[in-house]
Amino acid sequence: MTQQIPPQTNISQLAALLHKQVQTAGGISFADFMAQALYHPQYGYYIAPRDRIGKSGDFFTSSSVNRIFGHLVARQLAQMAELLTAETFQIVEQGGGEGHLALDILEALAEESPELYARSTYTLVEVSPDNCQRQRHNLNAHVGKVTWCAENDWSITSGCFVSNELVDAFPVHVVEKHSGVVQEVFVVSHEGSFAEEVRESTNPRLTEHFAWLGCGPVEGNRAEVNLVAPDWMRQVGQRIEQGFVLTIDYGYPAEELYAPHRRAGTLMCYHRHQADDNPYESVGEKDITTHVDFTALRKAGSEAGLETLWFGEQYRFLLGLGFFEELLRLEAAASDENEARALRLTLKNLIVPEAGMGETFKMLIQGKNVGTPELLCNRAIGSIPFV
């Protein structure tokens, strides 16, 4: 059955290429469509030069909101470094965007823990040449400290692997459950526009994934399956001898992600700070993203020796690491009440649950060969003096 979607008015070069491909193949999986829309070697959203992050781009990330985010992450990294015995503390960040988080972490280490800064290395793993260039520019002050390497080329003897909003950018399969059977959404061409066809799935990995996860969509619902994410997490685990993995992203545990009320999945597109759910319009000019399945990440991680040490909402992580104390310090340093109010309004985005990034955003901290340390972010909210 072909599902009509609104006709596409803005046919980019990438859309034209994809139309040809879809017609020749008689349809491609949504995962293949999304992979090209985001990562086509010439026209993909993350590959072609454009402003993506921040006011002049399509969306904000926590690290682009304010440097306090990276500074608090750095505080957690500094404690992790104390828990490790090796001289060199290796930080590897994958999918660093324009390098905001790297910059804020390095700045905070240089200011608050200069001894640790001196014995740290920072490696960026980035698939987009445009973002690599932006990272080099933004990290100019730390030249010599930062290096870049390919996805299969890094390893950590002792250190921490970090990602912020990487996993939500991995291509996903879209499925629907009908008559008890998981079917897959294919993208086809219909009267010059992209359309969707729900087909019997020919990919055994989809049903294998749900069996492995022990959870899946209920009858009649649409959902996404991120097959890249668990493979990626296993590889991350295998590349670490001793250390931590900090994964920051929006998402839910599997039971919540595949809950019956979530009838249409979580796929969203972002263009110039407008959200919509039509990935077939303005192909290559907008971000396509889905919520992350943290159960799958935890399960895959544990298969590679990564034990979950902490999992929770971003607001709890930030409060534990001193968000309020830092806010008070910055407010006291503001030149007037207007500046202090503007600061409060900006920073509020990082912790408020509903409209902001506080609750849907989660932090997953895993460890390999590090025991079960009490992490700084775990500080009880009740023990914060002015809450």
Binding residues for ligand SAM, per CB under 6 A?
Answer: 46, 53, 61, 63-64, 94-97, 100-101, 125-128, 131, 151, 164-166, 169
Here the tokens at position 133 are 């260039």
Write down the number of H helices and E strands in the chain: 14, 17
Q: Are 13 and 48 in contact (CB under 8 A)?
A: no
* Identity of the residue, 182 or 296, whose beta carbon is nearer to ligand SAM in the bound complex: 296
Sheet of strand 274-276, all strands in order from the earlier edge strand to the far edge: 274-276, 268-271, 287-289
Here the tokens at position 4 are 């009509």
* Identity of the residue, 153 or 325, whose beta carbon is nearer to ligand SAM in the bound complex: 153
Q: How far is the CB of 17 from ligand SAM (least distance, A)?
A: 20
Q: Are 224 and 266 in contact (CB under 8 A)?
A: yes
Q: How far is C-alpha 173 from the chain's CA centre?
A: 17
Give the three-state DSSP class for 200.
strand
Which amino acid, residue 229?
Answer: A
Which amino acid, residue 32?
Answer: D
Q: How far is the CB of 52 from ligand SAM (least distance, A)?
A: 7
Q: How far is the CB of 97 from ligand SAM (least distance, A)?
A: 3
Between CA 288 and CA 36 the distance in angstroms is: 11
H-helix or E-strand spanning residue 37: helix 30-39
Q: How far is the CB of 192 from ligand SAM (least distance, A)?
A: 30
* Identity of the residue, 53 or 225, whose beta carbon is nearer to ligand SAM in the bound complex: 53
Which amino acid, residue 283?
Answer: V
* Identity of the residue, 255 or 277, whose beta carbon is nearer to ligand SAM in the bound complex: 277
Between CA 178 and CA 222 the distance in angstroms is: 10
Q: How far is the CB of 248 from ligand SAM (least distance, A)?
A: 8
* Identity of the residue, 45 or 210, whose beta carbon is nearer to ligand SAM in the bound complex: 45
* Identity of the residue, 128 or 201, whose beta carbon is nearer to ligand SAM in the bound complex: 128
Q: How far is the CB of 328 from ligand SAM (least distance, A)?
A: 25
Between CA 34 and CA 48 the distance in angstroms is: 15
